[in-house]
A and B are shown apart, each in its own frame.
Chain A
Amino acid sequence: MSQLNAAARAPLDSRAKMIEFHEVHKYYGDYHALRGISATIREGEFFSLLGPSGCGKTTLLRTIAGFEDISSGAVLIDGKDMSDVAPNKRPTNMVFQSYAIFPHLTVGENVGFGLRRDPRSKAEKAKAVEEALEMVGLKGYGARAAHALSGGQRQRVALARALILKPKVLLLDEPLSALDKKIREQMQVELIKLQREVGITFVLVTHDQEEALVMSDRIAVMFEGEIAQLADPETLYRRPNSRRVADFIGVMNFLPAQILGEAAGHVQLEVGGLGRFEVTEEQASARASGAEPVVGFRPETLTILYEGQQAHDREAPATIDEVVYYGDMTYYDVKLDGVDAPVRISMRNVFGRPVLDVGTRTRVAWSAGALVLFR
């Protein structure tokens, strides 16, 4: 999954700060749209803003572009305070959700639009346009009417038009949400490659957690105008810092837990169906949404043991409650002995291994290291 975004590059912490938010607040009248955003985005980073619709992602992106004045706080780009810099003077360019292709211009005129004030010669500019089109896979499309393009092509034009100016930061507001699933997946890969190629900082807004996980170096998960968690995809997935983030990203099983005690960096627990065990402090730093502590684990961290198989770590007896077959995967809802609510387990289908029936008695292998304690 993270072949592309885990490429070996200079570690993030050692790179220069490209965008800094310092306690950014934004009010629309009485409505508090951004509630004290503080974060740093590094040079060359592929950064995503992820959250449900209406949480303020677009608003935050637009404060970078300069389309929204912030009510208090500061936005810095490349170390410079942007409060008195208009959008047309900022080293950022934007790919709009609607693509905002100028319908009365050709593809080439659209892409070359930002070069109007460029002192280079006409021929040089034409060459730059041609190169930009080639970069997004639209070589030779320059003379076409922009309004006749397909959704995917418009998106490429919008990209070329923004990238031709070699901005320090490229801002993308849900650039893929209007595309079909297939083209969307293809564009995800192309966007990552493109970002590697040009080395520009990308800030992407999306409500699609899978898209964010696939594409980003780091992700800021936002709820109601606040950043709930900012981390790389793997940490976000494996160690969500709150029940809410865990619910938003992927599927997670929850079981009520009883905390027996804490000692030497470990927390002792008793969980119905799993028994007594301990987890590290690092696993125990997430916030629960209610007063009761719960443990959470992803469906793929559990394994159904077949006859003769041994658990590497621990195992628990269970009964299969529901089976959903997906071709490459099978999802089992399994009732651990002594627990009423079923937990979900995802199993890769392997040749020669049968899909189990409902009601089958089985054993489930699990490991305390894969758990998160929400308390």
Chain B
Amino acid sequence: MAASPLKRWARSEAVNGYMMISPTLIYAILLLAAPLVTLVAYSFFTDGYLVVIPDLTTANYAEAWSDPIFRSILLRSVIVSGLVTLVTVVLAFPIAYFISFHVPAAKKSRWLFLITIPFWTSYLIRVFQWKVILNYNGVINSILTGLGLTDHPLQMLNSIGAISITLAHAYAPFAILPIFVSLEKIDRSLLEAGLDLGENRLLTFWRVTLPLAMPGVIGAVMIVFIPTIGDYVTPELIGGGKLPMVANVIYQQLLKIDNKPLGSAMAISAMLVVAAVALVFLFLNRRFLRGSK
């Protein structure tokens, strides 16, 4: 006789798997799925001053999207995090390339370690340090005036550029690691083959290395873009509150002004924008993966 159906059921892999995953899954359902669903629901409810009235409406979205301030903030958020992503990835690529191709294998992990150390210290303080560096009487300006290069200190804070540099610094390891991983996967003999065939280094880089590294680059883009668009701290500290991004308005609507439906609609809108951008990149990644085969 084979085992009884009940016993076999209890021993089956699927049941064991569900049992094992259940604590984590239940946690995620209660504290992630349910809140997200609530947020979506709220975004279609009506605000009744201090209470939320469950009357379905699309008024919140209409209000958010017709508000020129919200639209410009959303646009700014996309532009800033797009800029941050560009700067971060462009700065990070040569480093990843350097570690992968020019650092001896035994020292690679030491270099990666070196790059991740700054990332382990307080995010707030790291962000604030850029204020110290870029301030009117900050590090850069005191060096410039000290060297007699300028009489008028530069006004660098409260600008999109300052926000971008700060975030590029904060997310540096997130960009370097995925690019490094994809570079490491490249078969070195392919590159030698390219050189053998008489192509010069630059051409080989352009035609072989870069396309093969593309999945890592796109991974880096996603990893940097998604959290930066929702960053709250940097616009506050480095933008001086004068250049709010989407996180700052959502926070204000939800906590300060306490218009939960409008805040929810804004949060969902922001999420949709992020998702749309992410999907575009995922699609690009697919194309690249297929193209390289």
Q: Decide if A81 touches B8 in the complex (CB within 8 Å).
A: no
B12: chain A residues at CB < 8 Å are: 69
Please state if A74 and B1 are interface contacts (CB–CB under 8 Å): yes
How far apart are the CA atoms of A124 and B12 in the complex, in Å? 39
Does B4 have its Cβ within 8 Å of any Cβ on chain A? yes
How many residues belonging to A are interface residues under a CB distance threshold of 8 Å?
9
Inter-subunit contact A69/B8 (CB<8 Å)? yes
Q: Which 5 pairs show the lowest CB-CB distances between chains A and B?
A: A83-B3, A70-B2, A83-B1, A72-B2, A83-B2
Q: How far is the CA of A83 from the CA of B5 in the complex (A)?
A: 11
Write the A66-102 contact mask toward B (1 if CB under 8 angstroms, else 0). Answer: 0001111110000001011000000000000000000
Chain A residues lying within 8 Å of B242, measured Cβ to Cβ, are none
Q: Closest approach, in angstroms, between the C-beta of A334 and any C-beta of chain B?
A: 47
The chain B residue sitting closest to A70, CB to CB, is B2
Q: Which residues of B contact A73 (CB under 8 A)?
A: 2
Tell me which residues across on chain B come within 8 A of A84, comparing CB atoms. 3-4, 7
User: What per-residue 1/0 map shows which CB atoms of B1-30 lie under 8 Å from chain A?
Assistant: 111100110011000000000000000000
Q: What are the residues of chain A within 8 A of B8 when measuring CB–CB?
A: 69
Residue of B nearest to A63 (CB): B2
CB distance from A374 to the nearest CB of B (A): 36
Q: Is the CB of A69 within 8 A of B11?
A: yes
Task: State in angstroms the CA–CA spacing of A83 and B8 once bound together.
Answer: 9
The complex places the Cα of A221 from the Cα of B3 at a distance, in Å, of 27
Given A69-B2, A69-B8, A72-B2, 13 further pairs, Cβ under 8 A = A69-B3, A69-B12, A71-B2, A74-B1, A74-B2, A81-B1, A83-B1, A83-B2, A83-B3, A83-B4, A84-B3, A84-B4, A84-B7
Listed A/B pairs (7) with beta-carbon separation below 8 Å: A69-B2, A69-B8, A69-B12, A72-B2, A81-B1, A83-B1, A83-B2
- What 1/0 flags go to A240-276 for Cβ under 8 Å of B? 0000000000000000000000000000000000000
A65 to B113, CA, bound (A): 46
Q: How far is the CB of B233 from chain A (nearest CB, A)?
A: 43
| Interface size in chain B (residues, C-beta < 8 A) | 8
- Tell me, in angstroms, the Cα distance from A84 to B8 when the chains sit together: 9
CB distance from A247 to the nearest CB of B (A): 34
Q: How far in angstroms is the closest Cβ of chain A from B232?
A: 45
B5 CB to nearest chain A CB (Å): 11
| Residues of the B chain whose Cβ atoms lie less than 8 Å from the Cβ of A74 | 1-2
- Cα A81 to Cα B2 in complex, Å, equals 9
A83 to B3, CA, bound (A): 5
Identity of the chain A residue whose Cβ is nearest the Cβ of B7 in the assembled complex: A84
A73 to B1, CA, bound (A): 6
State the CA gap A83–B1 with chains docked (Å).
6
What is the bound-complex CA distance between A260 and B164, given in angstroms?
94
Distance (Å) between the CB of B219 and the closest chain A CB? Answer: 33
With A and B bound together, what is the CA distance between A305 and B248 in angstroms?
Answer: 100
> Separation in Å of the B113 CB from the closest CB of chain A?
26
Residue of A nearest to B11 (CB): A69
Q: Please, which residues of chain B bring their CB within 8 A of the CB of A70?
A: 2
Question: Smallest Cβ distance from B10 to chain A, in angstroms?
Answer: 11
Bitwise interface map of A from 46 to 78 toward B, beta carbon under 8 Å scored 1, else 0: 000000000000000000000001111110000
Complex CA–CA separation, A72 to B3 (angstroms):
9
CA distance A74 to B7 in the complex (A): 15
**Residue ID in chain A nearest B8 by CB atoms:** A69
What are the residues of chain B within 8 A of A81 when measuring CB–CB? 1
- Min CB distance A160 to B, Å, is 30
Instruction: Determine the residue in chain B with the shortest Cβ distance to A74.
Output: B1
A74 and B2 alpha carbons, distance in the complex (Å): 6
B7 proximity list for chain A (CB < 8 A)? 84
- In the complex, what distance in Å separates the CA atom of A71 from the CA atom of B5? 10
A279 CA / B47 CA spacing, docked (Å): 99
In the complex, how many angstroms separate the beta carbon of A337 from the nearest chain B beta carbon? 55
* Closest chain B CB from A107 CB (angstroms): 31
Shortest distance in angstroms between B174's beta carbon and chain A's nearest beta carbon?
33
Counting chain A CB atoms within 10 Å of each CB, the highest count among B3, B4, B7, B12 belongs to B3
Chain B residue at minimal CB-CB distance from A83 = B3
Interface centre among B2, B4, B8, B12 (most CB of A within 10 A): B2
Q: How far is the CB of B153 from chain A (nearest CB, A)?
A: 61
**A119 vs B8: C-alpha distance when bound (angstroms):** 32
Chain A residues positioned under 8 Å from B11 (CB to CB)? 69
Could you tell me the distance in whole angstroms from the C-beta of B9 to the nearest C-beta in chain A?
10
- Residue on A nearest B3 in the bound complex, by CB: A83
Give complex CA distance A197, B12 in Å. 39
Q: What's the nearest-Cβ distance from chain B to residue A75, in Å?
A: 9
In the bound complex, residues from chain A placing their C-beta under 8 Å from that of B4 are 83-84
User: A88: shortest Cβ distance to chain B, in Å?
Assistant: 13
Distance A83 CA – B6 CA, assembled complex (angstroms): 12
The interface residues of chain A lying within 8 Å CB-to-CB of B3 are 69, 83-84
Residues of B within 8 A of A69 (CB): 2-3, 8, 11-12
Nearest-CB distance from A184 to chain B (Å)?
A: 34
- B220 vs chain A, min Cβ distance (A): 35
Report the separation of the CA atoms of residues A71 and B12 in the bound assembly, to the nearest whole angstrom: 12
Q: CA of A74 to CA of B12 in the docked complex: distance in angstroms?
A: 18
Which residues of A, 194-227, contact B by the 8 Å Cβ criterion?
none
Interface string of B206-236 (1 = CB under 8 A from A): 0000000000000000000000000000000
A70 to B12, CA, bound (A): 12
Could you say which residues of chain A place their CB within 8 Å of the CB of B2?
A: 69-74, 83
Q: Bound complex: CA of A69 vs CA of B15, how far in Å?
A: 14
Shortest Cβ gap from A86 to chain B (Å): 9
Q: Which residue of the partner chain A has the closest CB to B4?
A: A84
